[in-house]
């Protein structure tokens, strides 16, 4: 690990993280979605949640301080975005991806999901088709029909230990009525960082069929394999950028999802941007004061925190992969990015796998919600002691099923 200190790169030994991510923080009493849903609701009182995608880590200190300063002011009237925000994002996109974003391309949103929903309506007519990868983060499955469009699945499958799109199948899913493709990269739930070649192949099919790409890149800074860079779809070329709505946010990277919502849609095409904004009018709020205050500081001042947090996540990922490989009846592919492991439980032969694991004391995300009942999704962004207990419970349920 190297962290920057006063401009110097300092190498730290494995065990020397300066932030204590091992510290267990009790989330009881905070109305945490993750921690309240199952509390005391099964026959077990002590179910550990490992489902919804947020982290059990405190936000970076600069974010907490910025929020404190904003809260201490005491007046929380209508709020506009901080002056510096767009420039901070422009600098970050240039530094991380060599992507030259213009400040005017950005539309502020209260969340990435609302951006996915609006994108479906930005193009096409009533009943036109939207390609949705499967398996997929579940709101993608709802977005087309809520926006008067028809969902057409574009399945990915594990080939040679890697979830991939079959391009022939993808092409066959395209019809004269296909108006949009909802891409998720990095890919939740399968934990892939799509390569340039994969993205180019998908983008080429979209361009030649006049299909809008909505590229949800919310997990783009949660890169666990350091040799697999994130490539924003819009950087593939100007023609692709012209047909792409990119969605980014600080919420996953810095664990800020509950702060009232913040995301940015980057839309270089002016006509598309106007349409997107028109769809938002009167329906979608802009982010509030705490969301803006935290996003500015997260994007500007928290890279040291992020680098250490990623080191911690990589260790957790390694632990999960090592354990799952040794548990009978379970399998998973390598997690390149995100903090989510997509675990195949089909071999256990359980009628209701999700319920069986809850009875065993661990609430994973049910794969059925993401279009594949043979899988459960494990969120490993938690303290190692908690993760070890989660894995112990998973092993117990699997061994019992296989006995
Ligand atoms: C791919 C993806 N998009 C969007 C979201 C949620 O975004 P938001 O809370 O900003 O709507 C998540 C959360 O897990 C996600 O994994």
Quote the CA–CA distance of 55 and 216 in Å, as a whole number.
19
pLDDT digits (tens, 9 = 90+) for 256-293: 999 989 999 999 999 999 999 999 999 999 999 999 99
| Ligand 1 atom closest to the CA of 263, numbered from 1 | 10
3-state secondary structure 147-192: CCCEEEEEEEEEECCEEEECHHHHHHHCCCCEEEEEEECCECCCCE
What one-character DSSP code corresponds to residue 5?
E
- For residue 176, what are the contacts with CB-CB under 8 A and spacing of at least 6? none
Q: Which pLDDT does position 37 carry in this prediction?
A: 77
Q: Nearest 10 degrees: CA dihedral of 58, 342, 363, 367?
A: 130
pLDDT at position 251 over 90 = yes
The edge-to-edge listing of strands for the beta sheet with 340-344 is: 331-332, 340-344, 375-379, 365-366
Radius of gyration over every alpha carbon of the chain, rounded to an integer in angstroms? 21
Q: Which pLDDT does position 44 carry in this prediction?
A: 63
| Ligand 1 atom closest to the CA of 109, numbered from 1 | 10
Centre of ligand 1 to C-alpha 340, Å, is: 13
Residue nearest to atom 14 of ligand 1 (CA): 53
pLDDT digits (tens, 9 = 90+) for 327-376: 999 999 999 999 999 999 999 999 999 999 999 999 999 999 999 999 99
Q: What six digits make up the tokens of 329?
A: 């009846």
- For residue 280, what are the contacts with CB-CB under 8 A and spacing of at least 6? 107, 109, 114, 118
Burial of 15 from C-beta contacts in 10 A (0-12 / 13-18 / 19+)? exposed
Residue nearest to atom 9 of ligand 1 (CA): 111
> Residues lining ligand 1, judged by CB closer than 6 Å?
53, 111-113, 137, 184, 188, 216, 218, 249, 251, 257, 263
Quote the CA–CA distance of 268 and 286 in Å, as a whole number.
19
Look at 21-30, 210-219, 233-242, 385-394 and tell me which has the smallest mean pLDDT.
Answer: 21-30
Quote the CA–CA distance of 135 and 375 in Å, as a whole number.
10
pLDDT at position 10 over 50 = no
Q: Which pLDDT does position 6 carry in this prediction?
A: 44
Quote the CA–CA distance of 105 and 142 in Å, as a whole number.
27
Dihedral pair phi/psi, residue 375, rounded to 5°: -125, 155
| Ligand 1 atom closest to the CA of 114, numbered from 1 | 11
DSSP string over 330-392 = -EE----BSSEEEEE-GGG--SSHHHHHHHTTEE-EEGGGGT-TTEEEEE--S-HHHHHHHHH
pLDDT digits (tens, 9 = 90+) for 43-88: 566 899 999 999 999 999 999 999 999 999 999 999 999 999 999 9
Quote the CA–CA distance of 114 and 378 in Å, as a whole number.
24
Instruction: Classify the C-alpha dihedral 199-113-224-132 as positive or negative.
Output: negative
Q: Which pLDDT does position 28 carry in this prediction?
A: 84
Say if CB 107 and CB 265 are below 8 A apart.
Answer: yes
pLDDT digits (tens, 9 = 90+) for 143-171: 999 999 999 999 999 999 999 999 999 99
**Which of 218, 257, 261, 381 to mutate to test ligand 1, by most ligand atoms within 8 A of the CB atom?**
218
Q: What six digits make up the tokens of 77?
A: 């009237």
pLDDT confidence bin for 39, thresholds 50/70/90 = low
Burial of 306 from C-beta contacts in 10 A (0-12 / 13-18 / 19+)? middle
Q: How far is CA 98 from CA 94, 101, 321, in A?
A: 4, 9, 32
pLDDT confidence bin for 139, thresholds 50/70/90 = very high
Q: What is the mean pLDDT of residues 380-401?
A: 98
| Ligand 1 atom closest to the CA of 340, numbered from 1 | 16
pLDDT confidence bin for 42, thresholds 50/70/90 = low
**Which of 257, 260, 263, 342 to mutate to test ligand 1, by most ligand atoms within 8 A of the CB atom?**
257
């Amino acid at each position: 690990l190297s962290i920057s200190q006063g401009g110097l790169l300092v190498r730290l030994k494995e065990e020397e993280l300066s932030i204590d991510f091992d510290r267990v923080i009790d989330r009881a009493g905070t109305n945490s979605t993750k921690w309240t849903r199952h509390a005391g609701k099964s026959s077990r009182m002590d179910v550990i949640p490992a489902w919804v995608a947020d982290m059990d880590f405190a936000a970076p200190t600069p974010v907490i301080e910025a929020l404190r300063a904003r809260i201490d002011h005491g007046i929380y009237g209508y709020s506009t975005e901080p002056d510096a925000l767009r420039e901070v994002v422009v600098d970050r996109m240039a530094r991380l991806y060599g992507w030259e974003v213009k400040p005017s391309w950005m539309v502020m949103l209260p969340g990435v999901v609302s951006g996915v929903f609006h994108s479906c309506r930005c193009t096409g007519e009533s009943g036109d088709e939207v390609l949705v990868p499967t398996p997929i983060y579940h709101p993608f499955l709802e977005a087309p029909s809520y926006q008067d469009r028809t969902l057409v699945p574009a399945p990915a499958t594990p080939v040679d230990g890697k979830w991939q799109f079959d391009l022939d199948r993808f092409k066959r899913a395209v019809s004269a009525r296909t108006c949009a493709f909802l891409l998720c990269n990095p890919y939740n739930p399968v934990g892939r960082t799509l390569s340039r070649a994969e993205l180019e192949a998908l983008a080429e099919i979209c361009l030649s069929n006049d299909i809008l790409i909505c590229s949800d890149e919310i997990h783009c800074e949660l890169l666990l394999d350091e040799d697999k860079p994130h490539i924003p779809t819009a950087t593939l070329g100007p023609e692709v950028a012209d047909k792409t709505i990119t969605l980014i946010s600080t919420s996953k990277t810095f664990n800020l999802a509950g702060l009232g919502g913040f995301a940015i849609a980057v839309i270089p095409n002016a006509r598309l941007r106007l349409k997107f904004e028109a769809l938002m009018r009167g329906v979608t709020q802009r982010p509030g004061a705490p969301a803006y205050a935290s996003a500015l500081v997260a994007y500007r001042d928290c890279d040291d925190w992020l680098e250490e947090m990623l080191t911690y996540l990589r260790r957790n990922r390694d632990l999960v992969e090592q354990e799952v490989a040794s548990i009978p009846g379970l399998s998973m592919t390598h997690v390149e990015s995100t903090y989510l492991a997509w675990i195949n439980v089909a071999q256990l032969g359980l009628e209701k796998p999700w319920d069986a694991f809850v009875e065993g004391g661990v609430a994973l995300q049910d794969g059925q919600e993401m279009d594949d009942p043979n899988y459960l999704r494990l969120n490993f962004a938690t303290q190692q002691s908690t993760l070890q207990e989660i894995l112990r419970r998973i092993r117990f349920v699997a061994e019992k099923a296989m006995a």
